Each structure stands twice: as C-alpha cells, then as structure tokens.
A and B are shown apart, each in its own frame.
Chain A
Amino acid sequence: MSDKPEDKKPEPAKTAPVPAAAPAAAAPAAPKPAAPKYVPPEPVLNRKNGRLIEDRFTTWPTQVFINRWSRSGYQAGAAMLTGILLGLAVTGGVVGELAKWADKFYALLTAVAAAKGLPVLAVEIAWVAIKVLIVLHIVLINGLWSIWWERKISAHIQSRVGPTYAGSPSGWNFHGWAQTAIDGIKLLLKEDVTPAAADKWVHALAPGLVVAPCIIAFAPVLFGDNMAAASLDIGTLYIFAFAGISVIGIVMAGWASGNKYSLLGGLRGAAQIVSYELPRGFSVVPVLMFAGSLDLQVISNAQAGYWHGIPRWFVFYPVVGQLAFVIFLIASVAETNRTPFDIPEAESELVSGFHTEYSGMKWSIFFLAEYAYVLLGSFLLATFFLGGGASPINSVPFTLVPSWMWMLAKAMLMMFVFLWIRWTLPRFRVDQLMDFTWKFLLPWSFVNIAIAGLYLAFWLK
C-alpha cells in the first residue's frame, strides 16, 4: 500500500501506448509509420486499471444544457416540425372538407347499387360497415400513434430522447416511428398467461369489456363538421353512458385475476370512475345549456363566430367556460386512470393494479382502451370547449384549413395536455382523490351550472 506513490511515477510512460489508441481512432486511415512520434497528452485516467476515460467525457454533460437552440440538431428538428405541420395544413387545404368526399362516395355507392339492382338496405348496411371500420381503425391507429407520441413526449419531459432505433435497422428510423408497431407484434407473440387462481372466463372477458364500450362510445364523436359515424340527438349522453360501462371490465379484471393487488386495484377503479363520472357530466351541463342540445354537431355549431377576433368558443366564456373546461379535463384524466389519478393501477403501491395478472395482448388491450379514452376525451374537449372544427383566427390562411384538420389539431393539443399532466404530477391518495371530486369538483360544477344559468338569463338572452 505505502509504496503506491512510487508505483505511480513510471505510469505515464507505461501507459503511453494505451492513450495512443484514442487519437488513433480519430485518424485510423493514416497508418503511416513516418509520422513524427506522437506524444500523448497527460491522460485523465484511472490509474488502477489503465482505462482511458477521456473519450467518454469529451461532452461533459454540464456543457450540454447551456443553450440548446444553438445546436444544429434542435434547429433542424424545429424546421422539420414546422415543415410537417405546414405540409399537413396545405394538404388539408387541398383536400378540403372530408364530409364532402364522404357524400360523394355515398352517392357513388348508391349509383353502383342502383346499377346492379341491389336494395337500398344493402347500401345502408355497407355504409354503416364502412363507418364502423373507420371508427375502429381510428381507435387502433390512435393506439399506435399515441403510445409512440407519449413515449416521445414523456422522454423529452424527462430529459431523455425516447425511441430512436425502431423502424429500419439501416434506413429510415425517424424517431423510432415503428416502436409501437414492433411492441404490438411482441405483445401478440407473448404467452398469454392466465393465473391458476383466476376465474378463466371473467379474466378473459374483462379486457374486451373495457375496450368495447370505448369503441362504441366513438359513434357520435365529431371528427370534423358533419363527420360523425352516427349523428345522434343525444350524442353527449350516449358517450357518457357507454364510457361508464368500462368500469365493469376493470372490476371484473381485478376480481377475476385471483390476486389481492388486482382486487384492490379493481375496487379503487370502480370507486374512482364512478365518482368522476359525476363532475364530468355536470361540468358539461353549462355547455349543453348554451348550445341547447346534446348533439355534438349542434354544440360545435353553437361556437361558430367571433367576438372582436376572439372565437366564441365555450372555453372563452368568462369564468364559466374556464371552470367547466378545467373540471372536464380533470375528470377526463381521472376517467382514463392516468397519473395524478392512476390509483387503480398505482404501480408503486399495487404493482400494476387491476392488470397485474394480464400479459400479452390482453394486457395491451387495456392500454388500447386507455389511449382510446384519451382520444375520446381529447375530441370531446375540442368539441365542447374549443369550438369543434372552427378556426381560432378569423382570417384567410386559417379559415381555408378544413374543419377536420382543426378538430384533429385541437384534439392533439388536448392529448398533449393529457400526456403532459401524466408526466408532471405525482399520484393522489385514494381518500384525497375522493375528497377532490366530492368536495371540490362536484360543488364547483354545480356553481358553474348556476353561473351559466345567470348568463343565460341576463347576458345570452
């Protein structure tokens, strides 16, 4: 031990060949022996094992965070994002309203059917089938998209970069675009384990019962002006009614897994979703009062027009709009069991809550449902509070963008808010969660209804 200092003296000379390897990496193509004898700099190295550590620390992280926007990667990324958004907007402007194309397609279908002598009923059935398939695929593609997006957003919120590799091993792996697709394939190939203690049928049925009502609830959802699969007079009520059914699937999953953590998760889920249904429903009541209808299209139309440049969206109605928006947003997050309200699956407490005992595709179906609910919540927020397909600015380049693109943009903005909330906040405790809804959200949504009544009586006569 004590002769350590003497050991150290000859070390630079001894390790001289080792550091020589590092600069050689910079110029490996020049193996000329004629080069003058290279004298390595004093290496910063661990003298114990001779490992050179200079290379890894050339970008010492303290330098990285100084000014991100001066880095070419950030500038290129911003330019690319702007390009993508502009390209999408221009494409939208060229394509125009999708409802128009749908009408044309329907007319074509009728004409073909008439030419072939098919009954009108067959056309109707085919038309409904097409619409159902479109809605189904919106939900499925949303799973692919929003999981990837969530991974990227969460990564950047958390000072990471997220998926970067999946796509093509050598080619176009743009920000790991294929990550969820590959994950999906992996989940399909995974073993589907049903625990010995589980109630097999209920265990297998539960994921379906969670996701099916969610897809059904998409029927009256407005994707643009006159772009709902089913134009229902009671659209709002219908969506809330079906979205509430999923909780049965969660309780079933929790109960049938034969796991105590799952059971606790299922019970928590039931309590939470039932509680948050109330403020969620009541927060929309002012919107329904202003619009005078439960039909999503009427609600969207009621927000057309501008007050001195400010769009007449319900979120801009003083006090009542913002309050309703916030309550509806919070309740929607709670409905989706996401982080400040993820007590049914509270990872650190209940392992995974109600889906602890699920694996493979059954497990991923729960996530499909979760993301479908996020999408549903986003579209509802856009329809109820953000004017549906209306342009935020009443001037030419913006009003040319078709309603479905505005709708999508607003829904994506809201989805971003969902993701943002999830990766920012800690989790509530069960009783705090209940306190929050019963003592805060619900009373305030009642107050909100009263204010909306006053508005209707004195202002919006």
Chain B
Amino acid sequence: MSNALMQTHDASTMAGLKTDQLFINLGPQHPSTHGVLRIGLTIEGEVIVKAVPDIGYLHRGTEKLSEVRNYHHCVVLTDRWDYVSAMPNNLVFCLAAEKLAGVKTTPRADALRVIMCEMNRIASHLLFFGTYGIDLGAYTPFLYAFREREMVLDLFEMLCGARLTYNYIRLGGVMVDASPEWLKRTSEFLEYFKPRLDEYDTLLTYNPIFMARTKGIGIVSAAEAKDWALSGPNLRGSGVNYDVRKFAPYSGYENYDFEVPLGKDGSCWDRYFCRVSEMRQSVRIVSQAIAKLPEGPFQASGFAKVPKPIAGESYANVEASRGDLGIYLASDGGISPYRMHVHAPSFINLAMLQDKLVGMKVSDVIALLGSIDIVLGEVDR
C-alpha cells in the first residue's frame, strides 16, 4: 500500500528524480509530540514515505496497579491517564464502580460532576487550542489560552485543592461540596470566558495562514473515522454525530440543553473547530448546571466505606475531553477490582497516524498530530 502511495507521489512531484530517504526520529524528546510519543519517520525531502508511531514511554501499568488497590484508591490512579482532563477519568471509574457496587448518587453530586467535567473540558480544550497554535508556529494564542485555563485551574484548586490530578469525583458523589462563593466565581468566570472565545477566533481560528495550514490537511472521512473507531472531536470533526453525552446520557446530561458541534470534511481545521465550539457548549452546560444546582447531600450515604461488590462486571463510558472514555471493571467479590481495562480515546485516535501520515509533509505531521490531541498518559496508561 505504501508502495502505491510512493508511486503516485513520485509521479506527481519527484518525476523520476532519484533521491535518498532519510529516517528521522520524531520524538520521544521533541517539542511537539505532546509528551513522549515517538514517530519513526522515513522522509524523502519533506514528504513522509513511512511513519511508525512508537508508544509505551509513559507506561505506568495503572490497569495492573488497580488490581491491588481498593475502589477508592483506584480513583487516584485514574487522574494519571489523561492528566490534562482528569475529572472525566475520575467520573468514568466512579460510574463503573458505582454500577458494580450498586451505589446511587445524589442529584447534587451528579450536577457537581457535570460542572467539573465540563470545566475540565474547557481547560483541556484550552490547552489544545494553545498548543495547537504553538505547533503551527503561533505562540501568542497559547498565552491567551493559558490565561483562561489558569482561572479554571484556580477554580479547581479552590474547590478541591488540586490543579491537575484532582481525585475530586469519588464513589457515591464528590469529595467536597461547592460553596456559594465558588459557584459565584465560576459564573463570573463563564461570563468572562464567553467573549474570550470570540477573541480566540480572531487570534487563530480564522487566521488565513492557520486555515491554509489546517484546512484540507489530514482529512479523515466519516467512514474512515468509524473504521478507526475514533471518538470525541476527532470523530465529530468528520461529521459523525456521536457524543456519549447525547447518545447514552450519564450523570444527568439529559437535563441540559446543548448542541454537539460537528465538522464537515474531517480536516485538521474541522477537528480544531469542533473543540473550540465544544468550549461554548461546555459554557452553556455549566451555566445551566449552576443555575439549577439541586440542594441536598453531595455524597451518597449508606454504602460500605470500603466497597466490596459482588462478583460481576460493569462497563461505563463517558464523553471525556478526548473522546469516548470507557472503563471495564470485573470484580471477583474482593475489595479491589479483579481486572480493570481502560478504553482510552487517545490510544485509539492515535492509531490512524500510521496510515494518515504517509504522503504528508513534515509540517503537516505536526498539524495532524496536534489536531488529534493525544495525551500520552492516556495512550500508555
């Protein structure tokens, strides 16, 4: 297959010119592989002939570690997968464990979970927005994105004391209740943040150079996206309307009014635009959740401090910032999971690189890799 691609490429640009191929290691230490991804690139001039992604540099064996920890302790491990948006990780594990242990959460806990997950989606997409700009050589949007991301993280710190690995969502509810002051400041932030999104559009989204670099680059058709089992904005960028929040609502997402932004042709720009638009929807969801935050306990009561679910298995999935994050938990009746498996969106999204990179230019590698928005912590786990 790569042979065929090489031939077309030869016919179109090189016209019989015999050139040597060059093998370069893109990563694991490289400014724009977003962590420790390594891609072995074989290039001819600027054009990629072969790309071999190599992962595993950040493998910490969290799935195995969970087998010797109880369900509360496992939540701490989940923070370390997708460390840019750890709330959905907490949430998905708790949902799976709650299913297994038969714990029913309170409405206030559900709403707080939604608020935190959506705020984290904003923080995560802001990081994407900033680093994607840097990937394409625009340094300024990064600082603007971080200015706002800092506020989200401050809000998180205000509530749960952590800025990155929160361990906030716990079995049966959340760690701590949101004070009225916190809710007020969050609303303030949302008001402040809405015009900032328009600012981002002027900074990057509709910049002609940015559009030239991303529109029509790295096109993933809807069929391909489904074949590769992509999820999240990568799938929706290709125009496939699939969002776990709509498709199989959890934590009361069905109560909120929001849209699922879709891309058109699945190019890098569409994936980027999906994420930027998702931030707007997240703002809507958080505003609604704060407006109708139910009173009541933030923690379910009446279940064992150290849950010991009966033997069985459960699966829960949520729409994390990077896609459909799923957890499969199997219990043998002990205090720790018998087996935990993570259906990690970054890992699955990454898989298409190998085919998609062939025939691209070196600069487009970065554009595509950035637009997939992987977090290596989740890829390697």
Which residues does A use to contact B, with CB under 8 Å?
1-2, 4-5, 8, 44, 46-49, 51, 53, 56-57, 60-62, 65, 154, 157-160, 260-261, 263-264, 339-340, 342-343, 346-351, 423-432
Q: Which residues of B contact A264 (CB under 8 A)?
A: 24, 46, 362
Contact at A426–B209, with CB atoms within 8 Å?
yes
* Cβ–Cβ < 8 Å partners of A160 in chain B: 143
Known: A427-B136, A432-B213. A349 touches B366 (CB 8 A): yes
A439 CB, min distance to chain B CBs, angstroms: 13
Q: Evaluate contact between A158 and B143: CB separation under 8 angstroms.
A: yes
Residues of the B chain whose Cβ atoms lie less than 8 Å from the Cβ of A44? 158, 179, 181-182
Partner among B137, B177, B299 whose Cβ is within 8 Å of the Cβ of A426: B137
Question: A-contacting residues of B (Cβ < 8 Å)?
Answer: 22-24, 30-32, 46, 72, 133-140, 142-144, 147, 150-151, 154, 157-161, 170-172, 175-177, 179, 181-182, 185, 188-189, 191-192, 204, 207, 209-210, 212-213, 297, 299-303, 305, 361-366
Kindly identify which residue among B133, B161, B305, B366 contacts A48, using a CB–CB cutoff of 8 Å. B161
A340 nearest CB neighbor, chain B only: B209
Main secondary structure of the interface of B (DSSP, over half): helix
* Interfacial chain B residues near A350, Cβ < 8 Å: 362
A158 vs B210: C-alpha distance in the bound complex, in angstroms?
18
The answer on a CB contact under 8 Å between B305 and A62 is no
User: Do A62 and B192 contact each other (CB < 8 Å), given the known contacts A5-B297, A46-B161, A349-B363?
Assistant: yes
- Decide yes or no: A260 and B158 within 8 Å by CB, A1-B171, A4-B299 being known contacts: no
Contact A158 B144 (CB under 8 A): yes
List chain A residues, Cβ under 8 A from B136. Answer: 348, 426-427
Q: A5-B297, A48-B176, A340-B137 are in contact. Are A53 and B157 (CB under 8 A)?
A: yes
* Residues of chain A contacted by B72 (CB below 8 angstroms): 1
> What is the total of A-B residue contacts with beta carbons within 8 Å?
139
Q: What CA separation (Å) do A426 and B139 show in the bound complex?
A: 8
Contact: B135 with A348, CB < 8 Å? yes
* B370 nearest in chain A by CB position: A348
A427, B209: Cβ atoms closer than 8 Å: yes
15 contacts between A and B (CB under 8 A): A1-B72, A1-B305, A44-B179, A48-B160, A61-B151, A62-B191, A158-B140, A159-B144, A343-B363, A348-B136, A425-B209, A426-B133, A427-B138, A430-B46, A430-B362
**Inter-subunit contact A2/B303 (CB<8 Å):** yes
B170 touches A1 (CB 8 A): yes
Q: Nearest chain-A residue to B138 (Cβ)?
A: A426
Which residues of A sit under 8 angstroms from B30, Cβ to Cβ? 351
Taken together as a complex, chains A and B put the C-alpha atoms of A431 and B72 apart, in Å, by 53
- A270 CB, nearest partner CB in chain B, Å: 13
- With contacts A49-B161, A347-B32, A426-B137 known, what are 18 further pairs, Cβ within 8 A? A46-B176, A53-B157, A57-B158, A61-B192, A158-B139, A158-B143, A160-B143, A348-B31, A348-B366, A349-B363, A425-B138, A425-B207, A427-B136, A427-B138, A428-B213, A429-B361, A430-B363, A432-B212
Given A157-B140, A348-B134, A424-B140, residue A1 in contact with residue B213 (CB < 8 A): no
| A426 in contact with B210 (CB, 8 Å) | yes
**Which of the residues B142, B161, B192 comes within 8 Å of A51, measured between beta carbons?**
B161
Q: Contacts of A348 on B, CB cut-off 8 Å? A: 31-32, 134-137, 366
Nearest residue (CB) in B for A2 is B301
Contact flag A426-B160 (CB < 8 Å), given A1-B299, A62-B191, A349-B363: no
A271 to B260, CA, bound (A): 44
What A residues does B305 contact at CB under 8 A?
A: 1-2
Asked if B24 and A60 make an inter-chain contact with CB atoms under 8 angstroms apart, the answer reads: no
For residue A260, which residue of chain B has the nearest CB?
A: B24
Are the CB atoms of B209 and A53 closer together than 8 Å?
Answer: no
Q: Which of B147, B179, B362 contacts A349 (CB 8 A)?
A: B362
Q: Give the interface centre of A60, A160, A348 by most chain B CB atoms within 10 Å.
A: A348
Smallest CB–CB gap between B131 and chain A, Å? 9
Report yes or no: A429 in contact with B363, Cβ–Cβ below 8 A: yes
- Decide yes or no: A339 and B158 within 8 Å by CB, A44-B181, A44-B182, A46-B176 being known contacts: no
